[in-house]
Amino acid sequence: MIDPATALRLDGRVALVTGATRGIGRGIAEAYVAAGAAVAVLARKPDELAETEAALTALGGRVITIAGSAGDPDAIDTAVARCVDELGSLDILVNNAAANPAMGLIVDHEPSAVRKILEVNVEGPWLLARAAWRVWMQERGGTILNIASIGGMRPSHAIGSYNVSKAALIHLTKQLALELAPGVRVNAVAPGLVRTDFARALWEPDEVGVSARHPLGRIGVPDDIAGVALFLVSDAASWITGEVYRADGGGHLV
């Protein structure tokens, strides 16, 4: 029987979260620390990493940070190794980091930009899952959570290459869930429009109008995704794998 008082606790577990210095990743890292987890953060900018480490430590967490891109194989191997060596395990992997250097018609996107999107959004999560499996999870189990997008479920204007990468990430989620069971659960969250710097071009020009088109009357905030991300890696979700949880304020209904 699940104890409601502890089902969402992560005490004694270690999570590696990519792109967790701001936005959705930061919200997830804060939620995990509040639930008792130690957290390793992989992100690119040293100044943001320093601020994040201080903030998460102030919340009472054991925290380390690693500077590097979530699409760089060397940075990935370093992050996984340091997570295990310095925090003692790697129980939870959250593939949150993403790139989108291309806007407009997909046929107008430069090949170099599309390659970057696929490198960070698809190859990176695969490499991280591969490294986590080989170094820790194959023998000891764990949970992997991919941050996808509703753009991976349906096409939309302006961000076609990004949407294609997230569709691939959704399928990767299901493939890994099948292959890594029963020891490792793999799920995804597909956020709708969330108020982050990353998505600023999509909401800032008309936030009031965009919010009105959501049945729940607003666009999302990082904590809206962090709550789902906490549930999916917790014991409360112990019989869930291969699922993609949409969190979009009801936007898919209209």
The model's pLDDT over 222-241, given as tens digits with 9 standing for 90+, comes to 999 999 999 999 999 999 99
State the Cα–Cα distance between residues 96 and 249, nearest whole angstrom.
Answer: 20
* Type of residue at 167: A
Task: Compute and round to an integer the Cα radius of gyration of the chain.
Answer: 17
The model's pLDDT over 134-177, given as tens digits with 9 standing for 90+, comes to 999 999 999 999 999 999 999 988 899 999 999 999 999 999 99
225 within 8 A of 27, measured Cβ to Cβ: yes
Known catalytic residue: 245?
Answer: no
- Does position 5 have pLDDT exceeding 90, yes or no? no
Sort residue 12 into left (φ over 0), alpha (ψ -120 to 50) or beta.
Answer: left
Helices 23-34, 46-58: inter-axial angle, 10-degree rounding: 30
Q: What is the pLDDT of residue 127?
A: 98
Topology of domain 14-247 in CATH is: Rossmann fold (3.40.50)
* 18 backbone dihedrals φ, ψ, rounded to 5°: -90, 150
What residue segments make up the domains of the chain, in order of their start?
14-247
- Does position 2 have pLDDT exceeding 70, yes or no? yes
pTM over 0.75: yes
Catalytic residue among 133, 162, 231, 245: 162
Q: Give CA angle at 43 (223, 125), nearest 5°.
A: 80
State the Cα–Cα distance between residues 211 and 214, nearest whole angstrom.
Answer: 5
The model's pLDDT over 55-90, given as tens digits with 9 standing for 90+, comes to 999 999 999 999 999 999 999 999 999 999 999 999
Helix %, strand %, coil % of the chain (to 5): 50, 15, 35
